[in-house]
Structure 1
Amino acid sequence: MNDLDLDSLLGAEDDEGPRRKGRGSRVNRARSRRRQRRQRRKGFVAFFVAMVIIVGVLGVGGYYGYQWVRDMAVAEDYAGPGTGEVIVEIKDGQSAGDVAQTLVEQGVVASERAFVNAIDAAGKTGSLQPGQYKLRKGMAAVVAVPLLDPKLRLQTTLTIREGLRLSQILQQLSTATGKPVTVFQKAAKDAESLELPAYAKGRLEGFAFPATYEISPKSTPDEILASMVARFSEAAEQADLVAGAKKVGRTPLEIVTIASIVQAESGNVRDMAKVARVIYNRLNRDPEMKLQMDSTVMYGLNKFGIAATHEELKSKSPYNTYARLGLPPGPIGNPGDHAIEAALNPAKGNWLFFVTTDPKRGITKFTDSETEFFKLAEEFNKNHGAG
């Protein structure tokens, strides 16, 4: 075989090679496509299985979620208006949830959720106010909500007017609360629980401040009287009573005592500063004059009236300022803020006498002349029907 033949043979083999390679490539591509199709089928199956699992989980979760929502929305509740009577107290700062818990504990509503749903639906979540309310046991929540209206709070409004004696105040408190007056009398002696100021020397007279009070059924006598003392302390602070007493050369107790006399002797507010001035002029006179106030005499005798009789003026009581110099041992009543202000800031004047010549109209006249005083006394007797 010559070289040409060898080359031809070799060339023939080379020419066939590429053709063989082309067929192999096509086979490989076909195999690749089959593998891809198998992988896609497996991926689809896996995706399908995953979706089935997810849908199943969501279905189970959705069922239980629905059950939970339904249980929350349809809370355990009583039916009807309930029975009996329950006093429920809402404390300051309590939320609807706090109140719901209290209602459940006292057997008013069946569940906290029932009450919260009911008050939310009524739009009254923000209207709850501290106080005591009368409800019933076993009430439907929607029936309980309207009974917590602030207008239905169980409170007694009591106004204590200026100048009343402690004995009168205690009787009024007894009447308003239905509690025996003896329990108030006992509470009035507990200076520590009442938190009386030290200068009161343990006596409540003069420190049961006249004002309007809201009294709940559960308030104890101690609590009620303590609130009156607290109100006095507020008034004393506003008037700067302790420092003011020092400026006029008196003790705080003497100021309250003067204020109580001013309250008892004044026909109206506009005369209070003048009455106070008469008291100071008599106390500061050299030699000191007796106050000669009928109101103090009547207090010492535990009587009421605007003019003491000759027999009453002979009283041995330490409150008889016709017989004794100086102020009585303590207040003869419970003065208001106007009288306290007058005691701290008496009017300017030289008056030594005053007479309420017309008690019905509250007309009081002042003078520094004893002769004029007797004339005013005659005018009083005429108007009072005694002359």
Structure 2
Amino acid sequence: MKRILLVLLVLVVLAAGGVAGTFFWAESQVKQAAAPPGAPTVEFTVSKGVTGRGLGPQLASQGLIRDARLWRWHLFRRGSFAPKAGRHAVSPSMTMAEIATALEGNPIPDDVPFVIVEGWRLRDTDAALVTAGLIKPGAYIAAASQPARFTAPFTLPRATLEGYLYPETYRVVPGAFKVEELIQRQLDTFTERFYAPQKAAIERSGRSLHEVVVMASMLEREEPVPAQRPLVAGILWKRVDKGFPLGVDATSRYELAEWNDRLAFLQRLRDTSDPWNSRHRKGLPPGPIGAPSVESLQAALAPKPSEFWYYLHDAERRLHPSRNAEEHEALRRKYNVY
């Protein structure tokens, strides 16, 4: 009888040791990530209604954890677990505890791209935002007409932020869109792309930042090929400095409801009292005529000197500069540009 009791005691001790060994093994495994440090972050989607245990096979199939059984063990030891439906940023370099914490956090917002095209006026961006269902008509223009509400490392114009709101593709959240946040992001992008890296060059140029922005907005509309914009900038700055009218027809389109309304455009060209009519008015127009790209801003800041005073584009939009009025008229006849 004593022998039998001794055997049973040994078996109980061995079983207890096995359970303890399994426990410590499982605990050590859940603390190990599926990949070494530095693995890229990926998006993992938690579907609505899925259970914590149900996430295990999905996490394992995507290589984010080693074993779904260990995931179940971790959840058992963890106690409560309430993942939030949506997309979450996780990495196989994270431990199971870190992944579980991430899945309980706020999901990645469901943002969408919104494109602001180079050369667009405030009214054009406003219309696009309305079409996208993000704002009511006029909300963007109204906000951009209050520069004091925004911040920048340079002096903002008083009346409007036309020209300073950088054209780019921005990610926006339709259900939580705020027009002021978009405008501030545009100003920040303008600073990052142009003002900050070119601050010293602007100070050396002899031009104010506002003058550079006004010129860049015209270049964006005048010259479709970015590589040609420094040459055109050189011609236009020369006209400004010598007191000649710019002759940039795009300025007469600026206040049109529709940019390509030809009848209204021709009426504007005949209005010599229009401050935006650069065929008759000398110097820069009253302000920027749209949102310039960094290529146009850089061209306005660093124009290319040349012997040319005039230029035109043929039917294929190729640039043809000329040195004097006679050459310019000959090119107009040659390419039938009037």
Please say whether Structure 1 and Structure 2 have the same fold, judged by a TM-score greater than 0.5: yes
Match 1:183 to one of 116, 126, 139: 139
Match 2:180 to one of 209, 213, 222: 222
Match 1:233 to one of 186, 191, 203: 191
Change (3 A) 1:239 1:280: farther
Distance, in Å, in 2 between the alignment partners of 1:109 and 1:118 is 15
Residue 294 (str. 1) matches residue 249 (str. 2): yes
User: 3-state DSSP class of the match of 1:200?
Assistant: coil
Residue 205 (str. 1) matches residue 144 (str. 2): no
Identity in percent: 21
Distance, in Å, in 1 between the alignment partners of 2:317 and 2:118 is 15
Match 2:205 to one of 225, 248, 260: 248
User: 3-state DSSP class of the match of 1:148?
Assistant: strand
Match 2:112 to one of 148, 156, 175: 156
Distance, in Å, in 2 between the alignment partners of 1:239 and 1:263 is 20
Distance, in Å, in 2 between the alignment partners of 1:148 and 1:203 is 38
Distance, in Å, in 1 between the alignment partners of 2:50 and 2:111 is 27
Distance, in Å, in 2 between the alignment partners of 1:123 and 1:157 is 27
Match 1:363 to one of 318, 321, 333: 318
Alignment of 1:217-366 (within 5 A): 217=174, 218-237=176-195, 239-240=197-198, 242-285=199-242, 288-302=243-257, 304-305=259-260, 309=266, 312-358=269-315, 361-366=316-321
CA-to-aligned-CA distance 1:102-144 (integer Å, 9 cap, x gap): x9xxxx5587x55765664454659xxxxxxxxxxxxxx9x98
Deviation at residue 319 of structure 1 after TM alignment:
1.8
Distance, in Å, in 2 between the alignment partners of 1:311 and 1:168 is 20
Change (3 A) 1:245 1:122: same
Deviation at residue 327 of structure 1 after TM alignment:
0.8
Distance, in Å, in 2 between the alignment partners of 1:350 and 1:316 is 31
Distance, in Å, in 2 between the alignment partners of 1:184 and 1:311 is 26
Deviation at residue 234 of structure 1 after TM alignment:
0.9
Deviation at residue 265 of structure 1 after TM alignment:
0.8
Deviation at residue 275 of structure 1 after TM alignment:
0.9
Instruction: Give the equivalent residue in structure 2 for 1:39.
Output: none
Deviation at residue 310 of structure 1 after TM alignment:
6.6
Distance, in Å, in 1 between the alignment partners of 2:113 and 2:246 is 38
TM-score by length of 1: 0.59
User: 3-state DSSP class of the match of 1:309?
Assistant: helix
TM-score by length of 2: 0.67
8 Å CA contact 2:308, 2:322 repeated in 1: yes
The aligned amino acid for 1:355 is L
Higher relative contact order (CA 8 A, sep 6+): 2
Q: Which has the higher helix share?
A: 1
Deviation at residue 166 of structure 1 after TM alignment:
1.6
Distance, in Å, in 1 between the alignment partners of 2:53 and 2:84 is 10
Change (3 A) 1:316 1:118: farther
The aligned amino acid for 2:119 is G
Match 2:331 to one of 353, 366, 376: 376
Deviation at residue 188 of structure 1 after TM alignment:
2.2
The aligned amino acid for 1:167 is R
RMSD: 4.2
Deviation at residue 315 of structure 1 after TM alignment:
4.4
8 Å CA contact 1:259, 1:339 repeated in 2: yes
Distance, in Å, in 2 between the alignment partners of 1:282 and 1:372 is 17
- How many residues get paired? 280
Deviation at residue 236 of structure 1 after TM alignment:
1.6
Unmatched runs of 5 consecutive residues or more in structure 1 = 1-43, 70-92, 127-140
Deviation at residue 199 of structure 1 after TM alignment:
3.5
8 Å CA contact 2:146, 2:158 repeated in 1: no
